[in-house]
Amino acid sequence: MTQPIIQVEQLSKAYRIGLEEKKSETLAGVIIQTLKSPFQNFKNISNLRDFRKEEESIFWALKDVSFEVNQGEVLGIIGHNGAGKSTLLKILSRITEPTSGRVRIHGRVSSLLEVGTGFHPDLSGRENIYLNGTILGMTKREIDSKLEEIIEFSGVSKYIDTPVKRYSSGMTVRLAFAVAAHLEPEILIIDEVLAVGDAEFQKKCLGKMKSVSKQGRTVIFVSHNLGAVRSLCTKGILLKAGTVIFNGNIQDTIQGYVSKKDRSLLHKGTIVEEMRTIHHGFAKVKQVILVDEYGNSREDFFYQEDISVSIKLEIIHEIADALLDIRIISEESVVIEHILNSILGGKPITLQPGSKEFLVKVKNRLAPGSYSINVGVHASAGNTLEYVEDVYSFTVLKASQEDELSYAHEFVDGYVHQKGEWQQLN
């Protein structure tokens, strides 16, 4: 029986968090606290690594996490913010020590966890390639053989002899990924840091990770982009509050994640601050609702039943050449459709201060399933002034009482059912 390349057994990690100091309001109390403080500080320092007692100041980032990864597998780790994903990767990368439990890793590990991790800012890009390779245990000859390939993949050849401290975050992550992926580690660990790169580079990175896995090397991938996770990974782990709540094939892992998402905010289109991911004070999205052809607010629509999106805005300062857009998002957080208020050759919109309302008619070609709506307000220069996510959830139903609106197939791949004109030519 083949031994797993990574074995994690009962892994736990605890941190001691700061609590607000209780101060006395009387003179006598202040004097007593001052006299006692050296002894209290000594006690606190002595107990820094004592996690045996469940105290209010102890936070468990991971608790009894166990799993195995075989050689050549691509493991996706998903979960909400604060679930413990980054802590787990730092332990696997030997950056952080666990509080308890054991990790066995057979092979060299190359990791990309944060922009600039493992880079010296005063060294050039070329020198940092050799620095990283040496840390990974590569010989100079091995690094020499990969050097040109790394530089070409990173796309920063023009600046390769410039100190890294003068790189943008995007340039840094491009070079860091190129180093991590090309120095042939047995295990490649990638955190959400790839989101820093542009769409073209992210696609390039995913292609490289697929290539790495096909060569028999192991990849561990953490991302909130569930579409990328599903396309790349074969197995998945779902973390919640530091514990593993599911470990299995990637499709079931993603389904477990989306089915447990808190969708309590996705109702009636009322905006709460948790939805407002970008806000620069020029505009506010006040309400977004979906309505049918009769103007009735709905959360369920039949397949091919057309949908209209009602958007209410408050314009605080004039926006010249404004661009409004709607994104329809799947349960896996994949953008299915992107609908703009203007197209090439269309006239720009100037939005004056005050209340505005828009009605957007959408031709519904979505496959049956659950979706949500994102809405954005942008300036002519491409700057996003206001962006709200998951403002309205809705469901596309499989069939209605009318035959022409029924969904004719039990299974159709993808999210959108596009009708095409088929011709047999021979």
Does 40 or 133 have the greater pLDDT score? 133
The enclosing domain of 400 has a CATH number of 2.70.50.60
* 297 and 384 co-located in one domain: yes
Position 54 scores a pLDDT of 53
Q: Quick check: is 52 in a domain? A: no
Q: Quick check: is 386 in a domain? A: yes
* 229 and 291 co-located in one domain: no
Q: Quick check: is 410 in a domain? A: no
Q: Quick check: is 223 in a domain? A: yes
The upper half-sphere exposure of residue 394, i.e. CA atoms within 13 Å in the direction of its Cβ, equals 30
Tell me the residue range of the domain where 68 lies.
59-257
Q: How confident is the model at residue 198 (pLDDT cuts 50, 70, 90)?
A: low
Q: How confident is the model at residue 162 (pLDDT cuts 50, 70, 90)?
A: very high
* 94 and 186 co-located in one domain: yes
* 246 and 295 co-located in one domain: no
* 253 and 300 co-located in one domain: no
Q: Quick check: is 49 in a domain? A: no
Position 191 scores a pLDDT of 82
* 121 and 243 co-located in one domain: yes
Position 77 scores a pLDDT of 92
Mean per-residue pLDDT of the chain = 80
* 238 and 315 co-located in one domain: no
Q: Quick check: is 413 in a domain? A: no
* 230 and 119 co-located in one domain: yes
* 94 and 218 co-located in one domain: yes
Residue 232: count of CB within 10 angstroms of its CB: 22
Q: Quick check: is 79 in a domain? A: yes
pTM of the model: 0.61
Residue finishing a domain among 257, 285, 302 = 257
**Burial grade of 296 (CB within 10 A; 0-12, 13-18, 19 or more):** exposed
* 132 and 242 co-located in one domain: yes
* 232 and 331 co-located in one domain: no
Position 233 scores a pLDDT of 86
Closest to 341 measured CA to CA, from 361, 316, 313, 355: 361
Number of compact structural domains in the chain: 2
Per-position DSSP letters for 290-305, written without gaps between them: EE-TTS-B-SEEETT-
The enclosing domain of 112 has a CATH number of 3.40.50.300
Q: Quick check: is 399 in a domain? A: yes
